[in-house]
Amino acid sequence: MYDQSRNANRVIFHPAFNPGVSRSVQIPLFVIILIGVLALGAFIVAYQKKYFNRIIFVVLLAGTMGNLVDRVFLQGVRDFLYIGSWFPVFNLADVYLNIGVWIFIILQFFP
């Protein structure tokens, strides 16, 4: 059995498969894929209209594409980064999406 208490303060690799969205909330797959495709379109339009810079565009695009490719081919995402029982297992695509959103928010307040 996996001892979560020993690794509560470290980032470790712990493979998991998530067929749902955040915290395994179940939504039909076609809805998730539709939202992903719409998000890609919105990011492309926002970048073309110069609402955000290239760095934000690239990390948002990478995160969305990473999760979308997993969902299309695996019907879920492969999560593998585990911090502790207090935080859900996640993957690099999730990290990229968070970085993109946080950079965008920070640049709105500190241009």
Clarify whether 79 is annotated catalytic: yes
Which residue in this structure is represented by tokens 């950079």? 103
Q: Which of 18, 60, 67, 79 is catalytic?
A: 79
Q: Which of 90, 91, 94, 104 is catalytic?
A: 94
Using an 8 Å Cβ cutoff, are 36 and 67 in contact? Answer: yes
Rounded CA-CA distance 50/22 in Å is 29
**Among 64, 68, 47, which Cα is nearest to 98's?**
64
Rounded CA-CA distance 56/32 in Å is 22
Clarify whether 3 is annotated catalytic: no
- Tell me the two tokens of residue 50: 């110069």
Which residues are catalytic, by number? 79, 94
